[in-house]
Amino acid sequence: MQSKREIGRSGIKITPLMLGGNVFGWTADEAASFAILDAFVDHGGDAIDTADVYSAWAPGHEGGESERVIGAWLKQSGKRNRVVIGTKVGMWPKRLGIKRENIIAACEDSLARLGIETIDLYWLHRDDEATAPEDYLSALDDLVKAGKVRAIGASNFKPGRFAEGLAESKKSGKARFDAQQPEYHLLNREIEAELMPLCVREGVSLLPYYGLASGYLTGKYRSADDKSKSIRGGRMDKYMEGKGPAVLAALDAISARHNATLAQVALAWIMAKPAIAAPIASATRVDQLVELMGALNVSLSADDVAELDRVSA
């Protein structure tokens, strides 16, 4: 089992695999969600990621479903003191954008749905590219000072705008981003150009999403016929038509050497990269969750990492 990693300079340390809560109350009903959450903690997991918008995109849903399910689990399980809870503001149509008033109101809403007094890691879900850093940071700083938020992060920010936020914190002394949540996996390595080096320089942790490329890197989508296996199948063409098959071949070989699954090796590759605190991955069944947690026991060699770097470049 890999040792815990600190999120930025926050003092918050987590096992380096964060559980994605986007499926809770959506493709995993409450009973399945509770079982997954219990199994996650039982297997050494301690950090859960959600957002106010989850799962507003689903028919008959309005948003807030994931937070409510997690809140119900926290109440039922009594495990609040064993987990780090992260949630987000800015992408839900009901609470769109990152202006001060919206952040404050959305935080109160999320606290109520989660049934907790403090959000451990509060994320700006998406940059509106209009709000000045001093505006959103003043709100986040007030939430930290009020004890409603412990640490802050930004998701889907371009490197330049993220750097502006860090510079404003340095100038003003307001709360500072400890984390950045971008897309990152073997088939999308864009952050290596600017964002990852920026985070290394500034002592900011990366907690990337889509670590398994919407399931492609599990190996279950190897032909056009496989696309019907899930609701994400339609996203697979871009991977199948590019370097995806070569990456799967490398994952096949490395997973065989380590007696691991492709998903475990793909996540272990992310864990081996600079500034990574934890990749985020979700599961809709307990057996999927147990497989994901197995990534924590995969120790890739420098040659393994280099091979995957080469085929995915």
* Catalytic residue (choose from 54, 136, 184, 221): 54
Does residue 164 contact residue 177 with C-beta atoms inside 8 Å?
no
What one-character-per-residue DSSP string does 1-22 give? -PPPEE-TTSS-EE-S-EEE-T
Does residue 48 contact residue 9 with C-beta atoms inside 8 Å?
no
C-alpha 304/C-alpha 164 separation (Å) is: 36
Q: What 3-state class would DSSP assign to 155? A: strand
Cα angle 291, 293, 299 (rounded to 5 degrees) comes to 100
Catalytic, 221? Answer no
| Residues in CB range of 174: below 8 A, 6 or more apart | 134, 137, 138, 140, 141, 168
Q: Which of 8, 4, 40 is nearest to 177 (CA)?
A: 8
**Which residues carry out catalysis?**
54
